[in-house]
Amino acid sequence: MKRLQAYQFLMEPNGEQQRAMRRIAGSCGYVWNKALALQIENHKAGEKFIHHFAMCKWLPVWKKEPDTWWLKDTPSQLFQGVL
């Protein structure tokens, strides 16, 4: 008879780690909303769906904008997952 076993862990981040997680979550939410706005605008114009690789090309552009300098603090792999 096989016995299945699982482990449960509790994360207890300190204050600095909590701020970093909130900052990353906020950045990912911002990228999601920005990409969604592009898709909606593209759809209203009668264009086709923007694919993942084409959307990923926008990430460096968004990171270079002066209003969104804080996107550079988050790893781009997370943004690629969001897109």
pLDDT (tens digit per residue) in 31-76 = 999 999 999 999 999 999 899 999 999 999 999 999 999 999 899 9
Q: What token pair was written down for 46?
A: 């009668």
Helices (H), 1-83: 15-44, 52-56, 58-64, 76-82
Is residue 1 pLDDT above 90, yes or no? no
Supply the pLDDT for residue 26: 95
CA torsion 57→69→78→50, rounded to 10°? Answer: -30
Does this model's pTM top 0.75? yes
Supply the pLDDT for residue 39: 94
- What's the number of CA atoms in the CB half-sphere (13 Å) around residue 71? 22
Is residue 20 pLDDT above 90, yes or no? yes
Is residue 14 pLDDT above 90, yes or no? yes
